[in-house]
Amino acid sequence: MTELGDGTRCVHGGGPAPGVGEPLHPGPVLSSTFELGLPGDPAGADFYGRAGNPTWRVLESAIGGLEGGDCTLFASGMAATAAVLLSCARGGEVVLPSDGYYLARALAADLGLPVRLVPTTLAAEAPMHDVALVLLETPSNPGLDVCDIVVVAARAHAAGALVAVDNTTATPLGQRPLELGADLVVASDTKALAGHGDVVLGHVTTADPALAARLRDTRTRGGAVPGPMEVWLAHRGLGTLDLRLERQAANARALATALRGHPAVRDVRWPGLADDPAHAVAARQMRRWNGVLRFTLRDPAAVGAFLAASRFVESATSFGGLRTSADRRERWGDDVASGLVRLSAGCEDTADLVEDVLAALD
């Protein structure tokens, strides 16, 4: 049988079809305690709400099927990143992107890990001696630079290091890091996977059974467990990821193209553009484009005026949702121009969105 398409796997991923008379969309299992049986019986998979939950397994199965490994859910994307650092970064240095998500760097420092910061575009050339873990973010957030996962993974493995890829920006449909040589995929499912701005969630996927067991132990012992309702909502959102991603990418392309011609805008970046500096590598390793782009306005006041004038672009720090949103990234400590805007294209009609953005800039 040929491999199922992205849309089919998003809609039907997570388990067998319901039997006759069973609900098509069963609700979340909200219980925190489960029947243990007799004292001499072995404990089942769900003996306590911190160790296991049937609702978790359904979404873990769906995400794992998309990424090609064993998925473990966490309470947030940062909880997932923390689990990777705690489980895989001992005994050597951690290579982190100097231009990636700022909290990953802050967390590694808080944990007392020896960190080597490398720009995303130079990750393939980074020294790998004494390294235990390489954490990539490609496309990076907010710069949207990319690095060659295949090359980095080969060099890291030759040095005995593990490779994790933050796949939040690309999504499980846009990029499959495990197939490119990575050992782990980490993501914030708060963003495009759940896609509706009503969930905080994260996950880690690996094809290594020993690593998967280590991550689950870290989750159980550390307590960074997701709520069943959040997991159920994310699974519901996953069903439309294929459709949402198609519209978001189309909107991102239209916006990036239009923004390049506006006199108030400079430094427009979206890897899907054929002449973008990241395009060649991104086209080689990404299966599909996404809806996140960036551009720079004159200063923070210009960003504020743009957001105030726009009808559809909301000021929000998350991305990947139904509604278009924008965030001035320097306010969070990113080493970027003060007027740099990360814009997450939503699912509005393309013509409406482009017209609104250009009018707001005018």
Domains and CATH numbers, the chain: 6-16+24-238 (3.40.640.10), 241-361 (3.90.1150.10)
Whether 355 shows a pLDDT value over 70: the answer reads: yes
pLDDT bracket for residue 12 (50, 70, 90): very high
pLDDT at 15: 77
Instruction: Tell me the pLDDT tens digit for each residue of 242-290.
Output: 999 999 999 999 999 999 999 999 999 999 999 999 999 999 999 999 9
Q: Which residues contact 168 (CB under 8 A, 6 or more apart)?
A: 77, 137, 141, 187, 188, 191, 192, 320
Average of per-residue pLDDT values in the chain: 96
Pairing of strands 184-188, 131-137: unpaired
pLDDT at 18: 82
* E strand residue ranges, the chain: 70-74, 93-97, 115-118, 131-137, 162-166, 184-188, 202-206, 266-269, 292-296, 314-315, 325-328, 340-344
Instruction: Tell me the pLDDT tens digit for each residue of 290-310.
Output: 999 999 999 999 999 999 999
Q: How far apart are CA 291 and CA 147, in angstroms?
A: 19
pLDDT at 19: 86
CA 207 to chain CA mean position, Å: 18
Q: How far apart are CA 227 and CA 193, in angstroms?
A: 16
Whether 1 shows a pLDDT value over 70: the answer reads: no
The arithmetic mean of pLDDT across residues 128-155, rounded, is: 97
pLDDT at 16: 79
- Tokens 């001696």 locate to 129
The arithmetic mean of pLDDT across residues 27-51, rounded, is: 89
Residues 221 and 200 sit within 8 Å (Cβ to Cβ): no
Tokens of 97: 């992107």
pLDDT at 37: 85
Whether 179 shows a pLDDT value over 90: the answer reads: yes
What's the longest Cα–Cα distance across the chain? 74
Q: How far apart are CA 5 and CA 268, in angstroms?
A: 32
The arithmetic mean of pLDDT across residues 11-20, rounded, is: 86
